[in-house]
Amino acid sequence: MPRFWTLASLRLVTAPASTPVPTLADIRAAAVRIAPLVHRTPVLTSTSLDVLCGARIFFKCENFQRTGSFKIRGASNAIMSLTDEQAACGVVTHSSGNHASAVACAARHRGVPSFIVVPENAPQAKIDTAAGFGGVISLCKPTLEARQEMVDDIQERTGAAMVHPYDNNDVIAGQGTAALELVEEITGLEIVSAPVSGGGLLSGTAIAATSLRPAIRVVGAEPVNADDAYRSIRAGSIQPLLHSNTIADGLRAALCPRTFDIIRSRVTNILTVDEETIIEAMKLIWRYLKIVVEPSGAVPLAMVLAHRERFAGRHVGLILTGGNLDLDKLPWQH
Contact positions vs a second copy (CB under 8 A): 42, 44, 63-64, 68, 283, 286-287, 290-293, 323, 327-328, 330, 332-333
CA distances from 273 to 140, 173, 225, 327 (A): 31, 27, 8, 23
The CA dihedral of 46, 52, 55, 59, to the nearest 10 degrees, is -40
Choice between 61 and 122, CB closer to a second copy: 61
DSSP label at residue 288: I
Choice between 220 and 323, CB closer to a second copy: 323
Choice between 153 and 286, CB closer to a second copy: 286
Choice between 125 and 312, CB closer to a second copy: 125
The CB-of-64 to a second copy minimum distance in angstroms stands at 6
**C-alpha span between 316 and 98 (Å, rounded):** 25
The CB-of-56 to a second copy minimum distance in angstroms stands at 17
The CB-of-116 to a second copy minimum distance in angstroms stands at 20
Choice between 65 and 96, CB closer to a second copy: 65
Choice between 21 and 52, CB closer to a second copy: 52
* Structural contact between residues 69 and 102, judged by C-beta atoms closer than 8 angstroms: yes
The CB-of-329 to a second copy minimum distance in angstroms stands at 9
The CB-of-303 to a second copy minimum distance in angstroms stands at 22
User: Which residues does 283 contact at the CB level (< 8 Å), separation at least 6?
Assistant: 332
The CB-of-296 to a second copy minimum distance in angstroms stands at 14
What is the enclosing helix (H) or strand (E) of 162?
Answer: strand 161-162
**C-alpha span between 66 and 27 (Å, rounded):** 19
- The β-bridge relationship of strands 56-61 and 43-44 is antiparallel
The CB-of-57 to a second copy minimum distance in angstroms stands at 16
What is the enclosing helix (H) or strand (E) of 269?
Answer: strand 269-273
DSSP 24-87: HHHHHHHHHHHTTTS----EE--HHHHHHHTSEEEEEEGGGSGGGBTHHHHHHHHHHHS-HHHH
Choice between 67 and 225, CB closer to a second copy: 67
